[in-house]
A and B are shown apart, each in its own frame.
Chain A
Amino acid sequence: MRSSGLSLDQAPPEDIPFRFFLTAPVFGLLAGSLILYRGVLVFSSSWHFETIALTHLITLGWVMMIMMGAFYQLVPVLAGGQVPWIALSRVVHFFMIIGILALAGGLLLISPLLFPVAIAALLLAFTVFLTQLLTALFRVKANRPVVVAMRISLISLALAVSLGVLEIGAITGLWPPLIERSIVKNLHVTLALSGGIGGLIIGVGFHIIPMFYLSSPFPEKRAIWILRAGMFSLAAVSVMLLNSAGSVLLFTAMLPGVTASIIFTLTVWQMLLKRKRKVVDATLRFWQIGLLAFPLSLLCLSVHLFWPDERLTFAFGLLFLMGFAATITNGMLYKIVPFLIWFHRFSTLVGKVKVPLLKEILPAKRTSGQLLQAALAMLTLLPGALLQIDWLVRAGAIFWLTSSGWLVLNLIFAFRQKPVTND
């Protein structure tokens, strides 16, 4: 078979992405429970241990879990790379769970015993994951935007994890702090959110939107410009933070990246509006909510530079993590999971038996119900945190818990779809 350099069956076994995808909303349930239990107190200071625990239940537990599953699945499909030592992905998943639970547990219970466990487990999980994916991506010769974006994301994650580990070690007395804590924190957040999460969502967006929504392709020159501007800002902001630069300099360094993010948002919005099939489904709405939350989060961040009110930090965190990252990854699960189920279980049966459509593997009424809960969670948590209204925050937690639980059930429903045998 000749396929012009395309490699063949490189897709990982189906259990690998699925185990990461299914774990994400379970951590969503833990995050929701913590908000429900503590109410508005989790939104009182970004330095509080329980706030840091909540943040990591969402960033590592939800967003990173889905990102890891997506990396394993999408690198062969979108970049044409072969992920080495694929069986080790199951070890990565196991140690991620241990690491996140130990980190959140250590922060919530202020238990010094759990921090070394968190450090060891997360370091092991990320070292294996990053080695696998960086090996795969640097073997790919093509420097297409999605490949570049994935590399930016992985390198940013490597730096963010290193800084995170340095910080945990410093606050628990395992080693002395190397640099000032606020610098480490700001660098860690910048690299993890802008480079790690933003890089992957933007890169995957270049391809996924035309592929699943039948839109025009993302203009390649614009994609390259967006990535260059993003990389410039990431590097410039990091240097500014290390030098304790003032607000004006930081904002100037951020500006190309913010502009690039807005251009990405507007381009994808236009592509979705002009899609060839005018079907409106939950995944489209998840993307649209995410695309609204993304620039709003950047606005909060920019205003926060000049008006350092802690509530703006929470508005940024909620908009970026729950409104943008968790929402878009949630929407993508509803495209990727039915497709993988179809591919692994039904594609070989085409022409032999009637195979289901994607909307039969995960019906629209299931996904639209969860979408409503996710949207209500945002609409209550955001004003609740901004105006410090306890009952609104707890109501938001209930919506978030319902949304996460619903997503678990929807994923289980999809995973249970199997070909009917006639024996």
Chain B
Amino acid sequence: MIPDSVPGGHSIITVDCRELEPPEPMVVVLEAVDKLQKTEVLKMLHRQAPRPLFPLLEERGMLTHLDKFEDGSIELWIWQEVQ
């Protein structure tokens, strides 16, 4: 389910990093972020919160929303700010 804070009407690109070794999740996500259109939102699936990724996303001017689950896994939603 798309969280309320994530803009609606965007197409969702899912990146599953649950079986990737560090730093591959960051590489995969950052490469996907660089190609992300204003009409798209990226959904990252991972085993845990990727803390080192956040400053890099901030540097790229991205907005995020993080959902954590009981088993420690996360869904991180990433999108561009629409001016």
Name A's B-contacting residues (CB within 8 A). 1-4, 6, 8-9, 11, 76-77, 80, 207, 210-212, 214, 217, 276-277, 339, 342-343, 347-348, 350-351, 355, 358
A343 and B72 alpha carbons, distance in the complex (Å): 23
The 9 tightest CB contacts between A and B, nearest first, are: A9-B55, A351-B34, A350-B30, A4-B66, A217-B72, A77-B51, A1-B58, A342-B23, A351-B31
* In the complex, residue of chain A having the shortest beta-carbon distance to the beta carbon of B55: A9
A-B contact count (CB 8 A): 78
Contacts beyond the supplied A1-B64, A3-B54: 12 A-B pairs with Cβ under 8 Å: A1-B54, A3-B64, A4-B67, A4-B68, A76-B51, A214-B19, A214-B20, A339-B22, A347-B56, A350-B27, A350-B56, A351-B34
A243 and B27 alpha carbons, distance in the complex (Å): 57
Chain B residues 51-74 with CB under 8 Å of chain A are 51-52, 54-59, 62-68, 71-72
Contact of B64 among A2, A277, A343 (CB under 8 A): A2
Task: Please tell me the size bucket of the interface on B.
Answer: 20 to 34
Q: Which residues of A contact B34 (CB under 8 A)?
A: 350-351
Q: Is the CB of A2 within 8 A of B5?
A: yes
Q: Is the CB of B51 within 8 A of A80?
A: yes
A348 and B26 alpha carbons, distance in the complex (Å): 10
Q: Which residues of B contact A358 (CB under 8 A)?
A: 21-23
A301 and B19 alpha carbons, distance in the complex (Å): 40
Q: Would you give the shortest CB distance from A90 to chain B, in whole angstroms?
A: 22
A355 and B31 alpha carbons, distance in the complex (Å): 11
Q: Would you give the shortest CB distance from A224 to chain B, in whole angstroms?
A: 14
Contact of B55 among A2, A8, A212, A276 (CB under 8 A): A8
Q: Which residues of A contact B56 (CB under 8 A)?
A: 347-348, 350
Name B's A-contacting residues (CB within 8 A). 5, 19-23, 26-27, 30-31, 33-34, 47-49, 51-52, 54-59, 62-68, 71-72
Whether A210 contacts B19 in the complex (CB less than 8 A), given A1-B58, A350-B31, comes out as no
Contact of A4 among B23, B27, B30, B65 (CB under 8 A): B65
Q: Which residues of B contact A214 (CB under 8 A)?
A: 19-21, 47
Q: Which residues of B contact A76 (CB under 8 A)?
A: 51
A183 and B2 alpha carbons, distance in the complex (Å): 60
* In the complex, residue of chain B having the shortest beta-carbon distance to the beta carbon of A212: B22
Whether A1 contacts B47 in the complex (CB less than 8 A), given A212-B22, A343-B23, comes out as no
Q: Which residues of A contact B62 (CB under 8 A)?
A: 1
Q: Would you give the shortest CB distance from B42 to chain A, in whole angstroms?
A: 13
Q: Would you give the shortest CB distance from B35 to chain A, in whole angstroms?
A: 8
Q: Is the CB of B49 within 8 A of A6?
A: yes
**Could you write out 7 A-B pairs with CB less than 8 Å apart?**
A1-B54, A1-B58, A4-B65, A347-B30, A358-B21, A358-B22, A358-B23
Q: Which residues of B contact A3 (CB under 8 A)?
A: 54, 64, 66
Best-surrounded residue of B20, B23, B27 (most CB of chain A within 10 A) = B23
Whether A1 contacts B63 in the complex (CB less than 8 A), given A11-B52, A347-B26, A347-B56, comes out as yes
Q: Would you give the shortest CB distance from A214 to chain B, in whole angstroms?
A: 6
Q: Is the CB of A77 within 8 A of B47?
A: no
Q: Is the CB of B22 within 8 A of A8?
A: no
Q: Would you give the shortest CB distance from B37 to chain A, in whole angstroms?
A: 15
A9 and B51 alpha carbons, distance in the complex (Å): 9
Q: Would you give the shortest CB distance from B58 to chain A, in whole angstroms?
A: 5
Q: Which residues of A contact B67 (CB under 8 A)?
A: 4
Q: Would you give the shortest CB distance from B2 to chain A, in whole angstroms?
A: 14
A362 and B56 alpha carbons, distance in the complex (Å): 23
Q: Which residues of B contact A77 (CB under 8 A)?
A: 51-52
Q: Is the CB of B54 within 8 A of A351?
A: no
Q: Which residues of A contact B49 (CB under 8 A)?
A: 6
Q: Would you give the shortest CB distance from B83 to chain A, in whole angstroms?
A: 15
Q: Which residues of A contact B66 (CB under 8 A)?
A: 3-4, 6
Q: Is the CB of B72 within 8 A of A277?
A: no
A401 and B72 alpha carbons, distance in the complex (Å): 41
